[in-house]
Homo-oligomer: A and B are copies of this chain.
Amino acid sequence: MKLLLLSNSAAPGRSYLDHAREVIAEHLDGVTELLFVPYALADHDGYTAKVAAFMDTLGIRVRGAHTAREPRELVASAQAVFIGGGNSFRLLKSLQRHGLVDAVARRIRADGVPYMGSSAGTNMACPTLRTTNDMPIVQPVSFDTLGLVPFQINPHYLDPVPGSAHMGETREERLRQLLEENDVPVLGLREGTWLRRSHDALELGGLAAGARLFTSGAEPVEHAPGADLSPLLAAEARFDCRPD
């Protein structure tokens, strides 16, 4: 299995995806046409054009999943799949409606087709939607996502702001609440970082800020770029498992 899971697609002062250009080029080496899934935003054509403009600089053509009457047929013949960010509830609901959750997962798992996700697309690679930061603007049939890794990722992971007057929970507090209800490792991927999976190997990449790993009953652990996170691929997750 070949995965590239980006925390974010936009970085300060950089054009779309530019901060990850090198790792994307490596990940998609040999691919001439990419299937892009734009459902996380409302403007499918505009979103696909933005991705096509970036991929054009790598010599890769882009086809939007929404351009086919049966998007599943495009999945069946795809050389590589990219699911972009936006609202992850809207994205998952559309994937479900078009029968793409299992169809995409099968292509990635069984056929070794490279998968790339950013933000909501990275959420989709996890077992469930439970660690998204998005507002539940629509109701998907279930929270089950593609399950390309057996642990959860929190994209755009944010550290607490010292002295903030904001009375809401910090991201860390939210993830600790999640661990009260579920038994699953959660990797907080800071902006500018990503995960690469190649079969049984999982490595953290990107900016020095790195990632913060949360697990039940333990203090969070920091990981720096280059960290070998392969042990996470053996995680056995249990959801909604708090005794009543």
Chain A positions near chain B (C-beta within 8 angstroms) = 8, 10-12, 42, 86-87, 90, 93, 97, 128-139, 142-143, 156, 158, 165-168, 174-175, 177-178, 180-182, 191, 239-240, 242, 244
Q: Which residue from B11, B165, B177, B191 sits with its C-beta under 8 Å from A137?
A: B177
Q: Which residue from B131, B135, B142, B158 sits with its C-beta under 8 Å from A177?
A: B135
Whether the Cβ atoms of B42 and A138 lie closer than 8 Å is no
Closest to A143 in B: B139
Whether the Cβ atoms of B168 and A133 lie closer than 8 Å is yes
Identical copies of this chain, number: 2
6 A-B pairs (CB sep. < 8 Å): A42-B177, A42-B181, A131-B135, A137-B180, A138-B240, A167-B191
Q: Describe A's contact surface by its main secondary structure.
A: loop
Q: A135 with B180: in contact, given A10-B167, A97-B244, A167-B191 (CB under 8 Å)?
A: no
- Which residues of B sit under 8 angstroms from A177, Cβ to Cβ? 42, 86-87, 90, 135, 137
- Which residues of B sit under 8 angstroms from A97, Cβ to Cβ? 244
* Nearest CB in chain B: distance from A191 CB, A: 6
Q: Which residue from B93, B129, B168, B175 sits with its C-beta under 8 Å from A136?
A: B129
Bound CA span A129–B143, Å: 15
* Nearest CB in chain B: distance from A95 CB, A: 13
Q: Which residue from B10, B11, B130 sits with its C-beta under 8 Å from A138?
A: B130
* Nearest CB in chain B: distance from A238 CB, A: 12
Q: A136 with B132: in contact, given A12-B167, A167-B156, A177-B87 (CB under 8 Å)?
A: yes
- Which residues of B sit under 8 angstroms from A131, Cβ to Cβ? 135
Bound CA span A242–B43, Å: 12
Whether the Cβ atoms of A12 and B165 lie closer than 8 Å is yes
Bound CA span A130–B11, Å: 28
Closest to A178 in B: B137
- Which residues of B sit under 8 angstroms from A139, Cβ to Cβ? 128, 130, 142-143, 239-240
Whether the Cβ atoms of B178 and A135 lie closer than 8 Å is yes
